[in-house]
Structure 1
Amino acid sequence: MKWTTPQWIRTLAAASVLAAVVLAVVLGSVFATVRNGLAVIGDRAAPQVSAATDLYFALSDMDAQLANVLLAGDDASLAADRKAALGTFAQRRSQADADLQQIATDASTQKSVRSVLDGVGQYESLASQVILLDQNDAAGRPAANVLDLHRQATDLMRTTLHTVDGITTSNHDLLNATYQSDVDGTVTARVWVIVIGAATVGLLVAAQVHLRRRLRRRLNPALLLATLVTAGFTITGVALLAQESGQLTVAKSNAFDSIVALSQARAISYDANADESRYLVDPGRAAQYQDAFLAKTQSLAGLSGATIDSYDAGLDSAFKAYQENNSDVKLTGFFGTELNNITFAGERGAAEQTVAAFQAYERDDRRIRALDTAGDLHGAIAFDVGTAAGQSNADFARYDAALKSVIDINQRAFDAAIGDGDGRLTGWTWQLPALAALLVAGLVVAGCWPRLAEYR
């Protein structure tokens, strides 16, 4: 049976409206998903990762300060250093408590958090005994019972830090999965939006062509406007999806990957600094702590085959090669990750300052070990805990400040990318798609209804 003109008009009009509604539903749902993904990344996963890495840092520095207390002992010349170590220990304990409170809000890690709480509680009990019993011991040479308690505390902290690292990994995996899902979703959605948008435009054009042929009308303004609205809405939607994908890449790949690597580097740096103090305070485990220091150094800025004695020359050579050619990154580890992911204004200069400050701190470590090997334990301790310019703790503080400046650059970029990505979606999670669909439907009715009336 041959279709009549009214049947064709009704069919094309209904198909156009239906296609416009489908387009609106697809855009609204995908933008809602992207916005939810941004919330997961920006408001849940990223803060939890940051809290976990900060907890690792705080706990590591607590143990470093405990070792520094033992290094100072009852030596009057080191009394100020002992007081400073005790003050920092208390500060890090409060910081760790705050981080634990934040992490505890995540139901998926509550079992691990309870384990960390138990470990920290036991550690603080042991640490309190160490501090109380060490008040009359010689600098760097605690009594056997104090040293035994200190070993128990340090070993317990190793186990606790391992659990904290698992919490970091769990939340980072969630962030990676959410990011990949959102990026893949925007790519798939763009294809569907183009296909559905093109189909809607095609139906609207077909309706106009049919009216022109059957009714000898050269132009239908309402259908023309509906076509332009649909085309504009499709192009805008596809462009916005591309922008959101770009913002997700900036936030996660360019910024947060560096934040995680550098935050972990900062936490491990404090743990390595603690190994340096443990090396002096516990001769029975000196070799173990020296190996641990080197392993953590390699995790920060890895050099294949480097030993404690050859590391400085290797680092200097690798860093000079990088400065001459920024694509020549010979370092592995967290610093290698960062040097391969320089993105934002000022980031390269800040990263290079960090590596230079790290070099100075590493050279200080060799001096500490040389003084101790030469039998000058007091000189090694004074240089290790000293905060005057050129002393180890002063150089470590300078290195830490440089490292934190690179983290801050990436953190600002991350916050801006998440904020911009969320801001661009205002109105696009259903409101604008629904209005566009209603507008197209209204224009289709306005364009076709008068023509249908001619057949009544």
Structure 2
Amino acid sequence: MAQRTAVKSVYGDTPRRLKLLTAALALLGLLLGLISALGLTRDSASLSSLKSRTTEVSATGELYYRLNDMDAQAANLLLVGYHPARGFSVPTSVNAAASFNAYNTDRSAADADLELIAENPSLSSQAKALLDSLGSYEADVADAFYVDQQAATGQQPATPPAEALAEYETASAILHGSMLPASSQIAATDGQEVDSSYSSDHSAMSLFGYAVLVLGLIAVAALMLGNHYYARRFRRRLSWLSAGAIVALVTGLLGLSTQLTAADHLHVAKHEAYDSIYALDRAQAVSDDANADESRWLLENRGPELQTSFLQKVAEVGGAGRGGYLGTELDNITFPGEGQAATAAAQAFDTYLQDDKRIRSDANGGELAAAVALDIGTAPGQSNADFNAYMAALGRVIQINTAQFDAAVDSGVGASAWAELVIGGLLLLAFVLQAGHLRLREYQ
């Protein structure tokens, strides 16, 4: 008797119990809706963050490429000179003026990349330091260009004025000694942050999905118990709580499906598309670095250290078997047309390497003019033409993956079931409140 009195003092009479039951079930429904909404909000933020972060990562990768290409264009300019000797034919697209214009384009792009990278607080100090070094590099290169431009006519291939070559070597030492390693570190740090964010976001999506399912099942059980109470107390086998249980079950299952679908889109965007884009961007940058080493080798007295540097970068891109950046891409073929495009890029890279062997053979055989002509040549079968074809082939693979990346992100954002969530939440609350209202009215 004392126990029943204590229970009654807590729960009160039947109307009070009905109100408490209705309030508890409504609160559970609101909690289910809140967790579902938080999951969907997190999904959208995660996918949008991945897209914005990859834009920054693209800037860090492009910075490495632009810095390398600046050096390659500077080397190419000094290879042919402003005043080439009579009889040495230089294609208009790679003469001194064209190389100078390409150098300036790269310089502007590098400045823009550094400004974007500096917006990230964790990278701003590195970006500012790089910007200072870039100023020193540009000053030395400008001096090299000026000296070469003021030199007498009749410059032989790969024989710029000694002062111009000295200025360029000073600048190139700055670039390869500090700027490129710093740029590479920025790209690596940024890439690691993307990997870490992806791991956290992917786990959170799955966790929210199962949390919504569990809450949905708890809501189903609570609603069915409430319906049982109504049946026992009011002799009503079915009530609106039964309909609410169906809505709660559907909401839980839909929440799980939506979250797992979002996680799948995130996986496609990150692992299947972005990872390929990252590897291919690095392949472009390092390939251009190797190409610059090739020109520098011709320009700087063909020292063994530059040939070794070239071969190391070639290995970084192609590697043995399926190693290197190209191997990473070939092991991650997932989209229509990607396999053919990646294979074509690998074959184009091999064609370029065959040109390099011919260049070195000519130069080592005393045919320096022929080596330079092959190096700067823009006709099919010549190094510049084959290198540009290879870079274009890489670009096509990047385009395929970029399109799939954008599609995956957009699909993930579009898959959010906000309308279904709102409708389900309103129906659940309506059914709970209606069931309580009817029982209260009946009791009275």
Q: CA deviation at 1:7?
A: 5.8
Aligned to 1:290, which of 304, 307, 313?
307
Aligned to 1:31, which of 25, 30, 40?
40
Contact 2:213 2:255 in 1 (8 A): no
Say whether residues 1:364 and 2:355 are aligned partners. yes
Q: CA deviation at 1:84?
A: 2.6
Q: Deviations over 1:327-383 (max 9, x none)?
A: xxx321111111111111110000000001001000000000000011000000000
Aligned to 1:60, which of 52, 57, 68?
68
Contact 1:12 1:206 in 2 (8 A): no
Q: CA deviation at 1:107?
A: 2.6
Say whether residues 1:299 and 2:326 are aligned partners. no
Provide structure 1 residue ranges, at least 5 long, that are not aligned to the other structure: 304-329
- Which amino acid is the alignment partner of residue 167 of structure 1? I
CA–CA distance in 2 between the matches of 1:332 and 1:87?
A: 35
Contact 1:262 1:403 in 2 (8 A): yes
CA–CA distance in 1 between the matches of 2:209 and 2:410?
A: 22
- Which amino acid is the alignment partner of residue 439 of structure 1? L
Say whether residues 1:198 and 2:217 are aligned partners. yes
TM-score (norm 2): 0.91
Aligned to 1:181, which of 171, 184, 200?
200
Contact 2:39 2:209 in 1 (8 A): no
Contact 2:68 2:292 in 1 (8 A): yes
Contact 2:26 2:433 in 1 (8 A): no
Say whether residues 1:211 and 2:248 are aligned partners. no
Alignment correspondent of 1:275 = 293
Distance 1:78 1:149, change over 3 A: farther
Name the SS for the 2:303 alignment partner: helix
Q: CA deviation at 1:208?
A: 1.5
- Which amino acid is the alignment partner of residue 16 of structure 1? L
CA–CA distance in 2 between the matches of 1:299 and 1:114?
A: 28
CA–CA distance in 2 between the matches of 1:426 and 1:161?
A: 46
- Which amino acid is the alignment partner of residue 403 of structure 1? L
CA–CA distance in 2 between the matches of 1:425 and 1:258?
A: 26
Alignment correspondent of 1:111 = 125
Aligned counterparts, 1:229-244, within 5 A: 229-244=247-262
CA–CA distance in 2 between the matches of 1:99 and 1:281?
A: 29
Alignment correspondent of 2:50 = 41
- Which amino acid is the alignment partner of residue 218 of structure 1? R
Q: Deviations over 1:292-342 (max 9, x none)?
A: 000000100112xxxxxxxxxxxxxxxxxxxxxxxxxx3211111111111
- Report the structure number with the largest CA radius of gyration: 2
Q: Deviations over 1:195-241 (max 9, x none)?
A: 11100011111111222233222322x22222222122211111110
Aligned counterparts, 1:78-157, within 5 A: 78-79=89-90, 80=92, 81-82=94-95, 83-135=97-149, 136=151, 137-157=155-175
- Which amino acid is the alignment partner of residue 78 of structure 2? L
Once the two structures are overlaid, the 10-residue window that deviates more, 234-243 or 135-144, is 135-144
Name the SS for the 1:41 alignment partner: helix
Contact 1:278 1:286 in 2 (8 A): no
- Which amino acid is the alignment partner of residue 126 of structure 1? D
Contact 1:25 1:433 in 2 (8 A): no
Name the SS for the 1:103 alignment partner: helix
- Which amino acid is the alignment partner of residue 38 of structure 1? L
Name the SS for the 1:454 alignment partner: helix
Q: Which 4+ residue blocks in structure 1 deviate beyond 6 angstroms? A: none
Q: Deviations over 1:397-456 (max 9, x none)?
A: 11000000001111111111111212223737xxx6466434322211211222123333
Contact 1:52 1:167 in 2 (8 A): yes
Once the two structures are overlaid, the 10-residue window that deviates more, 333-342 or 14-23, is 14-23
Contact 1:255 1:414 in 2 (8 A): yes
Aligned to 2:341, which of 331, 339, 350?
350
CA–CA distance in 2 between the matches of 1:397 and 1:298?
A: 19
Contact 2:59 2:116 in 1 (8 A): yes
Contact 1:31 1:425 in 2 (8 A): yes
Provide structure 2 residue ranges, at least 5 long, that are not aligned to the other structure: none
How many residues matched? 424
Say whether residues 1:425 and 2:443 are aligned partners. no
Contact 2:114 2:127 in 1 (8 A): yes
Contact 1:54 1:263 in 2 (8 A): yes
